[in-house]
Structure 1
Amino acid sequence: MTASPLPTRPREGADGTVEALRARMQGMQDGVRRLPVPTPPELAGLVQLRTGGSYQVDSAALALLLLAASSRAGSWTAIVGVDDLGIEAAEEMGVDLGRTVVVPDPGDHWLEAAAALVDALPVVLLRPPTGVTARTASRLGARLRRRTSTLLVQGAWPGCEASLWVAGSRWDGVGEGSGRLRSRQVVVACRRGQAPVRHAELWLPTPPEHAETSPMSPRHVSDVTPTRQERRTG
């Protein structure tokens, strides 16, 4: 008697199942459900912030853009270690200062300040000192997952879930040698693990009515991993 071959699923169905499992695994870590956090729509194709995650950014403007998404949604936020914070710039980005705790200069107690705020608030923006160790980042990461908070880091952060940086930019507002800088069109790059770098164009802040919205020149965009200097100067 010859056995009949078992029926197989269509390939499309298998691929869909794998993708669904990957999405489910991404939403879980250490047995804790990782919920989506408000993310700027301009960055929807690059990254989705989630509770329990840390995200590295290279510039204050980009950090405030990410922070503002949660602030506009009504969440309390915190800013730690940013001693040169521009209040007007933060408000222009959409940060509600009435629901924002600011610790501009925690000194040597930056980790304790960040940990205390992670315990109490859903989103914390931190500018740490140089030389953060993987052990320190891991300790705060475990706290993030327990408290279902999200950490935005302006600077180097070992083991971050994603890194975002400004790969290119051009300003609007200066005409034929005169005028005032009003807004900046940037190319934001994002790297997640070993995946290829992805890019998106956006304005910081939103574009003025007269701004030219044509795509930026390819020379502004590179798929090469940025150097430390490139990340600092974005």
Structure 2
Amino acid sequence: MSSSTGAALVAPADPRGETVRELQERIRGMQRRTLDTRALPTDPALAELLPGGALAAGTAVAVESSTLLALGLLLGPSRAGSWCAVVGLPDLGVEAAAGLGIDLERLVLVPHPGEQWLSVLAALVEVVSVVLVRPPAPSRPGRPPVSEAAAGRLASRLRQREAALVALGDWPRSEARLSIAESSWSGIGQGFGRLQARQVTVASASRAWSGRGRSRRLWLPGADQRIAPVTAWDAAPAAG
């Protein structure tokens, strides 16, 4: 494990190893505060898409396909000084995470968790507020990435530690499921130019809403690389 100022911690995959225990102790010693409420700090641009208007401690949220949208759910806790972790995303650009506003000094990366990835999640939940995970592909087509029993055990751990899980892909017992319904880029002229910003419609579904979904138009990202609501004053981007 190595770290430097302004850089995320990169942890090994073995959840029983001495390095992971060292990592846990290090984070415990550096935490600014403990959580006082089950409502975790949530970026205002995404709050309306979640039941209760916030990312709730003790729950899981599933995000379909969009890594940037999933990272957006880490923004609030990270800005508030909490530790976050990203598991199973070896191609994640930390520059993009920093551009969104995530504090790299309190971000743990486990790019290759291996076959014991659920044990890695359980170990991280002990010391971080939010874990973003991309589950490995199921062994057979049509099977969920994790069993109901395993998801239930992890949910119990999340409740005990007042942490939250963000799954990039399907996840049993999710509190909400977010997906990109529409997307268009700006910055390209007549066959030339550079992609600068993207407007998307984010759709959200939750059992808490009795089958009624919600949606919101967002910059994901805007020209400043941040997530923000699209307002009536924003010019419509050219389709790309």
Whether 1:44 aligns to 2:51 is no
Matched positions, count: 185
Q: Secondary structure at the match of 1:167?
A: strand
**Identity of counterpart residues, as a percentage?**
46
Runs of 4+ in 1 over 6 A off after TM superposition: none
**CA offsets 1:23-73 (integer angstroms, 9 cap, x no match):** xxxxxxxxxx96111112112222121110100011101011111221112
Paired position in structure 2 for 1:167:
181
- 5+ unaligned residues in a row in structure 1: which ranges? 1-32, 221-234
Q: Secondary structure at the match of 1:120?
A: coil
> AA paired with 1:73?
A
Paired position in structure 2 for 1:112:
119
Residues 20-59 of structure 1 mapped to structure 2, 5 A cutoff: 35-47=38-50, 48-58=54-64, 59=66
Give yes or no for contact 1:69–1:94 (8 Å, CA) kept in 2. Answer: no
Give yes or no for contact 1:57–1:155 (8 Å, CA) kept in 2. Answer: yes
Q: Secondary structure at the match of 1:108?
A: coil
Give yes or no for contact 2:199–2:217 (8 Å, CA) kept in 1. Answer: yes
Paired position in structure 1 for 2:93:
86
Q: Which TM-score applies when normalising by structure 1?
A: 0.73
Q: Which TM-score applies when normalising by structure 2?
A: 0.72
Q: Distance in 2 between matches of 1:195 and 1:204?
A: 26
Give yes or no for contact 2:62–2:166 (8 Å, CA) kept in 1. Answer: yes
- Supply the RMSD in Å over aligned alpha carbons: 2.3
Residues 1-234 of structure 1 mapped to structure 2, 5 A cutoff: 35-47=38-50, 48-58=54-64, 59-130=66-137, 131-193=145-207, 194-207=210-223, 213-214=234-235
Q: Which has the higher helix share?
A: 1
Q: Distance in 2 between matches of 1:121 and 1:106?
A: 16
Q: CA deviation at 1:195?
A: 2.4
Query: Which protein shows a greater Rg?
Result: 1
Q: CA deviation at 1:197?
A: 1.3
- 5+ unaligned residues in a row in structure 2: which ranges? 1-35, 138-144
Give yes or no for contact 1:92–1:205 (8 Å, CA) kept in 2. Answer: no
Q: Distance in 2 between matches of 1:174 and 1:114?
A: 41
